[in-house]
Amino acid sequence: MQSKTFERNSTADSESRREPRDGGREVIVLRVAEIFLKGRNRGSFWKALIHNARRLLGDLDGVSVESHYLRAQVSHPPELRQACIDRLDRLFGLASMAPAIAVDADLDAVSRAAVDIARRMPGASFKIESKRRDKSFALASPEISRTVGSAVAAATGRPVDVHQPDQIIHVEIGPQSYVFGEILPGPGGLPVGTSGRVALLLSGGIDSPVAGWSAMRRGCQASAIYFHSFPYTGDKTKEKVLDLARHLARWQGPMNVHVVHFTDVQKQLREHGRAEFAVLLYRRMMMRTASRLADAEASKALVTGENLGQVASQTVENLAVIEDAATLPILRPLITHDKLEIVKQAQRIGTYETSILPYDDCCSLFVPKHPATKARIRDLQRAEEGLDVDALADQLCRDTEHITVSG
């Protein structure tokens, strides 16, 4: 090892833009967690993760995603590091990511990369933590750490502290060796697509976008269904829902949005049943129609932003009445969440600002002062007597506009 080489580079050049020297490549090492628990499905999970990473990063010049032996890395020009990190923050299935320098399994090259990494990080004392993935490599981990540690200390003048270091520099020796400092959290969850397709009932409110995001995070590929009651809910509301869908598409790629023109049927429902059941009649009709639309695109479940007790009508009894009209399972990711948690999550994922724009909720149309809070399924079945609910649902499916949006 030649510490001279290290010193030559010690001028305070722009840290994040500097090219690693001597063949080292700027990469981001992708790390997964739960995917590996999935045993038999491991291969398809991995494939989906890589596919999704390529979709997220595809348009960045000089960026590529490489995968071998269930390891993945993103190679990128130094100036695109932050752009890549920002996008990988939307790669579900990613447990964490480490901006790294990739080098051959050569101790000199590893030491030089470690010096580069040390110079990018604040703090004084450091410690090297080594892992040997290639057991045929001549040195054992403690010796690797000692050798690389001395090189970094010599080149930077920083002290080694194995007990309470300011920074830890990680060295992984393998077919491709990596040196990295910071490990950034990924969004977690499972790769979009690995849990199949679902249809999200997307309104313009705060909850349903968060519910959709949560389902995507668990590996679902979502389409959206929106019930539009023009002119009572105006075109602005529809645009708002489409904006929310576009935002959600940033995590999964293009999203199909089905806009169901609901007004006529909604009026018939309102005029038919007892006023106190109006909202439940609407909701049951939504479930019937959404089940059909979902079926037609091979979605296996519906997703809603329903929550227990958030409003007086969100009771277990009413949820049962609504669910009774669906022919697909209903996933309710937010069922037990506090409103405040949902709001915070909406702010974190960036849907909140759009959700709070003033809008009209189609279910608040033609609604009585005192909606039923503990309805029974047979009351609703009776309320629907004389209506051909299946024909109405079929009609709504025909009156549906299909739009595809991208993030």
Residue labelled with tokens 């500097």? 18
Task: Select 84 or 363, whichever has its Cβ closest to ligand ATP.
Answer: 363
The residues pairing with 126 across neighbouring beta strands, listed in sequence order, are: 160, 167
Residue 234: CB minimum distance to Mg ion, A? 16
Out of 6, 227, 251, 359, the residue judged to bind ligand ATP by CB under 6 A: 227
Closest-CB residue for Mg ion? 205
From candidates 26, 207, 243, 323, binder to ligand ATP by CB under 6 A: 207
CB 47, CB 63: distance < 8 Å: no
- Closest separation between CB of residue 225 and ligand ATP, Å? 6
CA angle 42, 47, 51 (to 5 degrees): 150
Tell me which residue of 118, 105, 116, 100 sits closest to 30, measured CA to CA: 100
Q: Please, which residue, 106 or 276, has the CB nearer to ligand ATP?
A: 276
- Residue closer to ligand ATP by CB (options 28, 225) is 225
Cα 258 to Cα 60, 210, 405: the distances in Å are 31, 18, 11
Q: Which of 116, 306, 323, 384 binds ligand ATP (CB under 6 A)?
A: 306
Q: What is the distance between the alpha carbons of residues 405 and 378, in angstroms, rounded to a whole number?
A: 40
Contacted by 116, from Mg ion, ligand ATP, none: CB < 5 to 8 Å by type: none
237 near ligand ATP, rule: CB under 6 A: no
Nearer to Mg ion, 167 or 203 (CB): 203
Q: Is 206 among the residues that bind ligand ATP (CB under 6 A)?
A: yes
Site string for Mg ion, 313-352 (x = CB under 5 A): ----------------------------------------
188-207 footprint of Mg ion as x/- string (CB under 5 A): ---------------x-x--
Longest dimension (CA), the chain: 90
User: Which of the listed partners (Mg ion, ligand ATP, none) does 30 bind, with a CB threshold of 5 to 8 Å by partner kind?
Assistant: none
**How distant, in Å, are the alpha carbons of 77, 228, 369 from that of 21?**
13, 58, 72
Report the site for ligand ATP in 84-113 (rule: CB under 6 A). Answer: none
Answer yes or no whether residue 305 interacts with ligand ATP by CB under 6 A: yes
214 binds ligand ATP (CB under 6 A): no
Q: How far is CA 68 from CA 30, 65, 73, 91, 171, in A?
A: 12, 10, 9, 18, 19
Distance in Å, CB of 304 to ligand ATP, minimum: 4
Which 3 state secondary structure label does DSSP give 249?
Answer: helix
Is there binding between residue 304 and ligand ATP (CB under 6 A)? yes
Residue nearest to ligand ATP (CB): 205
Residues in 186-205 at the binding interface with ligand ATP, rule: CB under 6 A: 201-203, 205
Counting every residue, how long is the chain? 407
Report how far residue 53's alpha carbon sits from residue 258's, in angstroms, rounded to the nearest whole number. 27
In angstroms, what is the C-alpha Rg of the chain?
27
CA distance 359 to 357: 6
In the complex, minimum distance from the CB of residue 308 to ligand ATP, in angstroms, rounded to a whole number: 11
Q: Which is nearer to ligand ATP, 207 or 243 (CB)?
A: 207
- CA of 389: how far to CAs of 273, 275, 279, in Å? 12, 18, 15
Would you count residue 310 as binding ligand ATP (CB under 6 A)?
yes
Q: Choose from Mg ion, ligand ATP, none: what does 27 bind? Cβ within 5-8 Å by kind.
A: none
Partner whose footprint covers residue 153, from Mg ion, ligand ATP, none (CB < 5 to 8 Å by kind): none
Residues 345-364 that bind ligand ATP (CB under 6 A): 361-363
Q: How many residues bind ligand ATP (CB under 6 A)?
A: 17
To ligand ATP, the closest distance from the beta carbon of 228 in angstroms equals 7
Per-residue DSSP letters for 120-186? HS-SS-EEEEEEESSTTSSS-HHHHHHHHHHHHHHHH-PPB-SSS-SEEEEEEESSSEEEE---EE-
Reference 92, options 191, 196, 193; nearest CA is 191
Contact 124, 90 (CB under 8 A): no
Binding site residues, ligand ATP, CB under 6 A? 201-203, 205-208, 225-227, 304-306, 310, 361-363
Binding site residues, Mg ion, CB under 5 A? 203, 205, 361
